[in-house]
Amino acid sequence: MLSRTLRLFLFGFGLVLALLAQAAYGAVVRAEVKSSLTKRWALPDLYEASVIELQTGLNAGDFTSVDLLKAYFARISEVNLQGPALRAVIETNPSALAEAAALDAERQLLGPRSLLHGIPVLLKDNIATTASEGMNTTAGSYSMLGSIVPGDAGVVKRLRAAGAIILGKANLSEFAHYRGNLASGWSGRGGQCTAAYYPGSDPCGSSAGSGVAASIGLAAVTLGTETDGSITCPASHNNLAGIKPTVGLTSRAGVIPISEHQDTVGPLTRSVSDAAIVLSIIAGPDPNDNFTLAQPNRVPQYERALSANALQGARIGVPRAMFLEPAYSGLDDTVMSAFGTALQTLESLGATIVDPADLPSAYQIYASRNESIVNAVDFKVQINAWYQSLYTNPSGVRSLAELIAFDDANPTLEEPTGYTSQSTLIAAEATSGYNATFYQALAADYQLGRTNGIDAALQQYNLDALVLPANGRTTTPAAIAGYPIVTVPLGFYPDNTTTESAGPNTVYPAPGVPFGLSFLGTAYSEYNLIGFAYAYEQKTMTRLARRAYPAAIPATQLADIISP
């Protein structure tokens, strides 16, 4: 007879084997269930999922907005502070799941309000959300942590009215890259954001986190802001579609400012169609932003511009002088070669390419300091007003001068090694308000950017739009004019590219990193630009040619969230 000890040992050993077998069987079952869910319902891949795909699944009952939020939260958790630590998201919305549940119930009862009903949207952290929801609005600065803003930004009100869910706040270059000589994508609160196509690569800014999050599906869509390049460049560096709207098409009320004469809010998305859907919802007049009251009476439904034939008969100009000259542009052979191929593609799609179609003011724009004067004066006046508008601010900061002092007094938070510069803030503080010098600079900007710039080229060559690679020089004429830019993916650097430093902890170019193509036009020409960009995008499908580096791609999908 077996001893009691031996019997107990055999029983325990058998139990362990049974549990191991059950665990293995359970893992197989879970994998089969996940595969079955994905195949049965064709659940969208969140890395590329479009607004239409998500909306279709929500309407069919394949998943809920609660499921979608949980999936995005899990994806953020995988890569934001863990793994590659991309630092694209500063914080998530603690009220989002409750809001999603309410919108799911509303869908069941009344149907969707819009194409963004129940769709999670990530906001750049300079776009205000009501404090009662549980999130901060700080422009990445500890000087505003815990502050109480008067309420939602104008664009957020429109998103909520359309049924969108605010997922959270994206990292950014602190104060929208209006602090000093700092790397793109760094903020005191968020740390150094990096792009997902090469470890440590420059995400570009200032809407860096919005760009990175959209590029790998940490949100359905994201919003950024641009003063000069801050939507266009992140779209370029993150393989995205981006729309920098005409100043005054989207409200800036409730957005931490740089310059009311240049600031604008727009989408960063994985496709032109998603960007058009978002723009249709956030565009329109707002009594809290006087600039929006000058826009055309009727905001177009921009998704109606989405035609593969949009370029047929269009005249597209190439402003080579200054913008494509290596001595001024800094463009390398890789980008210029891809741009040449893009011009051939545009021509094959029915466009007439007018090359060159130069801006008469090109070299004057390059030499001008007027933009710096306008932005510095606007920033001091408007950031002082922003601090004064806060109901409470635990830091005690109430002015630009106090902000500069706060940063110096809190170097661990705001001036770590490599990120100490406040040169731009200091220069703005030294300005003396709205005076003759300011107004002369503003008038000169409009003359250079509009009358003798973009509009002059469009009229002289009878053009519908201009096209350029999306680099730093591309954005300035449209920035000082207040005119729109639509950007789409153009190409990728080859695998043998030598990395170059872009900041203390970032590189660009680098192997496999993206770059973009920009369409520029006159005021309120977004509808045509969207059509041109869409036709090019659909022909080339450049975004799909390369994915992010493996560690930066979140694994979580809807099938991991949905209960069988």
Convert the pLDDT of each residue in 531-558 to its tens digit.
999 999 999 999 999 999 999 999 999 9
> How much is the average pLDDT of 377-392?
98
């207040």: which residue's tokens?
Answer: 482
**pLDDT (0 to 100) of residue 108:** 98
> How much is the average pLDDT of 517-534?
98
Q: What is the DSSP letter of 449?
A: I
1 against 203, higher pLDDT: 203
Alpha-carbon distances, residue 359 vs 298, 462, 486 (angstroms): 30, 13, 19
Q: How many CB atoms lie within 10 A of CB 199?
A: 15
Residue 403, pLDDT > 50, answer: yes
Q: Which of 132, 114, 213 is nearest to 172 (CA)?
A: 213
**pLDDT (0 to 100) of residue 458:** 98
Residue 45, pLDDT > 50, answer: yes
Q: Which of 70, 124, 157, 380 is catalytic?
A: 124
> How much is the average pLDDT of 431-456?
98
* Bridge partners (DSSP) listed for residue 501: 507
**pLDDT (0 to 100) of residue 36:** 47
Convert the pLDDT of each residue in 169-215 to its tens digit.
999 999 999 999 999 999 999 999 999 999 999 999 999 999 999 99
Residue 143, pLDDT > 70, answer: yes
Residue 280, pLDDT > 60, answer: yes
> How much is the average pLDDT of 67-77?
98
CA distance 38 to 106: 26
19 against 368, higher pLDDT: 368
Residue 63, pLDDT > 60, answer: yes
**Mean pLDDT, all residues of the chain:** 94
Helices (H), 361-495: 362-367, 370-389, 400-409, 411-414, 423-429, 436-446, 455-460, 472-481
Sign of the C-alpha dihedral computed for residues 414, 418, 420 and 423 taken in this order: negative
> How much is the average pLDDT of 131-142?
98
**pLDDT (0 to 100) of residue 24:** 52
* Bridge partners (DSSP) listed for residue 143: none
Q: Which of 201, 206, 271, 280 is catalytic?
A: 206
**pLDDT (0 to 100) of residue 391:** 98
Convert the pLDDT of each residue in 87-123 to its tens digit.
999 999 999 999 999 999 999 999 999 999 999 999 9
**pLDDT (0 to 100) of residue 471:** 87
Residue 124 appears among annotated catalytic residues: yes
**pLDDT (0 to 100) of residue 3:** 52
**pLDDT (0 to 100) of residue 510:** 98
**pLDDT (0 to 100) of residue 228:** 98
pTM for this model (two decimals): 0.93
Helix, strand or coil for residue 226?
Answer: strand
**pLDDT (0 to 100) of residue 37:** 47
pLDDT confidence bin for 327, thresholds 50/70/90: confident
* Bridge partners (DSSP) listed for residue 191: 187
Residue 564, pLDDT > 70, answer: no
Convert the pLDDT of each residue in 332-378 to its tens digit.
999 999 999 999 999 999 999 999 999 999 999 999 999 999 999 99
What is the residue extent of each domain of the chain? 52-550
pLDDT confidence bin for 33, thresholds 50/70/90: very low
Alpha-carbon distances, residue 39 vs 43, 44, 193, 291 (angstroms): 7, 10, 35, 49
Quote the distance between the C-alpha of residue 46 and its chain's center. Answer: 17
What CATH number has the domain spanning 52-550?
Answer: 3.90.1300.10
Sign of the C-alpha dihedral computed for residues 517, 552, 185 and 224 taken in this order: positive
**pLDDT (0 to 100) of residue 238:** 98
**pLDDT (0 to 100) of residue 216:** 99
Verify cis geometry, omega within 30 degrees of 0, for the bond prior to 356. Answer: yes
Residue 230 appears among annotated catalytic residues: yes
pLDDT confidence bin for 10, thresholds 50/70/90: very low
**pLDDT (0 to 100) of residue 8:** 43
Residue 379, pLDDT > 90, answer: yes
Convert the pLDDT of each residue in 214-268 to its tens digit.
999 999 999 999 999 999 999 999 999 999 999 999 999 999 999 999 999 999 9
CA distance 32 to 42: 14
**pLDDT (0 to 100) of residue 41:** 58
CA distance 366 to 38: 53
**% residues pLDDT > 90 (the chain):** 90
Residue 56, pLDDT > 70, answer: yes
Residue 506 buriedness (CB in 10 A; 0-12 / 13-18 / 19+): buried
Q: Which of 65, 143, 210, 230 is catalytic?
A: 230
**% residues pLDDT > 70 (the chain):** 93
Residue 482, pLDDT > 50, answer: yes
> How much is the average pLDDT of 27-54?
71
**pLDDT (0 to 100) of residue 515:** 98
Is 119 in contact with 165 (CB distance < 8 Å)?
Answer: yes
pLDDT confidence bin for 473, thresholds 50/70/90: confident
Residue 317, pLDDT > 90, answer: yes
Convert the pLDDT of each residue in 499-521 to its tens digit.
999 989 999 999 999 999 999 99
Residue 410, pLDDT > 90, answer: yes
